[in-house]
Amino acid sequence: MLKAIIGKKIGMTQLFNEDGAIIPVTVLKAGPCTVVTKKTLENDGYGAVQLGFGEIEPYKVKKPLMGHFKKNNVNPIRILKEFRCSEAGSVNIGDSVNVSMFNGVKYVCVTGITKGKGFQGVVKRWGFSGGRDTHGSMFHRAPGSIGQSSFPSKVFRGLKMPGHLGNKSRTASNLKIIRIDSEQDLLFVKGAIPGANGNIVYIYGANEFGRKKI
């Protein structure tokens, strides 16, 4: 059965357990999502379900994508994501899936885009200590030597240097589900997840070892 959904990061807060201990949680708006299309092993060579999340004005949709929606008789949707699923036959095109699918699931994996921080130096990007700030050292936040002189006379691939920081897809695994609010489609998971508030995230059911299980 499909155990994956598209959602949005709302923000972080805290809850209290039965013992009165504070639990830091991230609140996710999980669904509702519409099943846009299905892929089957017989027709496509693999099983998958394409879900859609969020509303969009029809005039903002490109014609090829609008044809995709009309073919499957669904309303235009802003975000589309295909999830591999061996049992794609358990849902039908046009069905609505919501956060209640995670009832009975203890852990989830959440994939999001990390915060982009632009071009950064080696101190912020990689945690270099840099040089001393006093006595005219003239070496403060510079990367230092990046290679040898006469041999091999090149910079080795993979060297830690200044560059773009953040804005990459990252997955937080094995997050424990603390609470499910089916009425408002909210999912409360323990800990932090990648990305800023309002970012689109992809939520997968997981086993106790943090592996995705959809």
φ, ψ dihedrals at 6, nearest 5°: -95, 140
* Domain ranges across the chain: 4-117+169-206, 121-165
Assign domain 4-117+169-206 to its CATH superfamily: Translation factors (2.40.30.10)
Element (H, E) at 123: helix 122-126
Query: For the chain, what's the residue count?
Result: 214
pLDDT in single tens digits along all 214 residues of the chain: 678 899 999 999 999 988 889 999 999 998 798 888 888 888 878 888 889 898 888 899 889 989 988 888 888 889 899 888 776 567 788 888 888 888 888 899 999 999 999 999 999 999 999 888 888 888 999 998 898 888 888 999 999 999 999 999 999 999 999 999 888 989 999 999 999 999 999 999 876 444 555 4
**pTM of the model as a whole:** 0.84
- From CA 24, how far away is CA 55, in angstroms rounded? 30
